[in-house]
Amino acid sequence: MYELKRDILYAGHRLRPGGNFRKTSVTIHSTANPMSTAENERKWLDNPANTRDAVWHYIAGEGVVIQSIPDVEEAWHCGRKTGNTKSVGIEMIESGDRRKVIETCAEFTADVLKKHGLSVKNIKKHFDWTGKNCPRILIDPQYIKNGMDWEYFMDRVWFFMIDGEPEKIKMIVNGEKVEAERILKYGYNFVKLRDLADILGYSVVSMGNMPVLTAKG
Ligand SMILES: [Zn+2]
């Protein structure tokens, strides 16, 4: 759960070029500032001392997301015209409780994808556009905390994308009909790993974040 605050830059602001562009991706960033909060980052956009041509559509903090540019408009966040016009830029703060920030950003990213009819395949790192070390808190071992890396973030986005009700289905496994529950979404069959493992004769335990399957003896 997060609170979305709209604090849009006024029309004509030097960091708000405007426009009306369909968005085909979401680009994830982190601020490269281990101290600042989402509120600090929003204030910086209005600070006369800020002469950088850099801005984001949204910034995610701990349980809060602030918007500075409307989705349809251009924001200078990934250094290339196609990205700036066609990608929703989401920043993550680097301060505070890292797990909460990633959780907030993942849930919000899922909501943006749904709103624009996009899927997790349409998520990009800033790195993908320009090779910049961003979001460094998810891709650079020097800044990753407790193993919460890009893969972890994507797992959390998946979690928030799959909000459907499971349906009871029959699956054929080795020619045998078995019952299972699944959610069919985004062209994927989501079946509980534990159920699937049971059917195939495996047991599942978790090692940290990683499921480990072992054939039952
Ligand atoms: Zn970036």
Per the listing, tokens 């800033």 go with: 126
Determine the distance separating the centroid of ligand 1 and the alpha carbon of 80, expressed in angstroms.
12
36 CA → ligand 1 middle, Å: 15
In terms of domains, do 112 and 46 share one? yes
Range 114-139 burial, b when 16+ CB lie within 10 A, else e:
eebebebebbbbbbbbeeeebbbbbb
CB 73 within 8 A of CB 22: no
Q: What pLDDT tens digit does each residue of the chain (217 aa) get?
A: 999 999 999 999 999 999 999 999 999 999 999 999 999 999 999 999 999 999 999 999 999 999 999 999 999 999 876 799 999 999 999 999 999 999 999 999 999 999 999 999 999 999 999 999 999 999 999 999 999 999 999 999 998 998 778 899 998 988 999 888 898 877 788 888 888 898 889 999 988 878 999 998 7
* CB neighbours of residue 37 within 10 Å: 18
Question: Which tokens is 74 given?
Answer: 């251009």
Cα-to-centroid distance, 54 and ligand 1 (Å): 9
> Does residue 112 share a domain with residue 85?
yes
Residues constituting the chain:
217
Same-domain pairing of 171 and 65: no
Q: How far is the CA of 159 from the centre of ligand 1 (A)?
A: 24
- The total of structural domains in the chain comes to 2
CA of 138 from ligand 1 middle (Å) equals: 11
Q: Looking at the structure, do residues 73 and 141 belong to the same domain, yes or no?
A: yes
* CA of residue 209 to ligand 1 center, whole Å: 27
